[in-house]
Amino acid sequence: RKEVEQDPGPFNVPEGATVAFNCTYSNSASQSFFWYRQDCRKEPKLLMSVYSSGNEDGRFTAQLNRASQYISLLIRDSKLSDSATYLCVVTLPNDYKLSFGAGTTVTVRA
C-alpha cells in the first residue's frame, strides 16, 4: 500500500465552481501535512500547511481527519490560474522526509 494516495483526476471544472478532493495516508503516526501545487513543467510549490483544526488561505481550505487518515483541499470560486496538479504531502515525527502523493490534476475551463 502506498504511503500517500490521491485520486489522480482530472477534475474539470468551470470558472467560479468549487472543487474538492481528498488524499489518504497509511501511517497513523504521520505528523505534518501539506498541499503542494505543481504547474506543468515547473517545480512543486508549497501551497499551504494543513493544521489539525483546519485552515483557510483565501479561496483554499484544507482539512485534516486523523481518525480516518485523510486530508482534503477545497478550492472556492475557481480561477483559470488554479489549473495545476495538487500534491498531498505527509511527514513522520522527527523526520525531514516528505512522502508525496502522485497528485490530483485540476483543470479550470473558461
* Contact residues: another protein, CB under 8 A: 31-32, 34, 36, 42-46, 49, 87, 89, 91, 94-98, 100, 102-103
Least distance in Å: CB of 50 to another protein? 11
Of the two residues 81 and 94, which places its CB atom closer to another protein in the complex? 94
* Least spacing, CB of residue 51 vs another protein, in Å: 11
- Short-list 101, 110, 109, CA closest to 38: 101
- Please, what is the minimum distance in Å from the beta carbon of residue 88 to another protein? 11
Closest CB to another protein among 101 and 106?
101
- Least separation in angstroms between CB 44 and another protein: 5
Nearer residue to another protein within complex by CB, 88 or 106: 88
Alpha-carbon distance 14 to 24, whole Å? 26
Q: Which is nearer to another protein, 45 or 109 (CB)?
A: 45
SS (H, E, C) the chain: CCCEEECCCCEEEECCCCEEEEEEECCCCCCEEEEEEECCCCCEEEEEEECCCCEEECCEEEEEECCCCEEEEEECCCCHHHCEEEEEEEECCCCCCCEECCCEEEEEEC
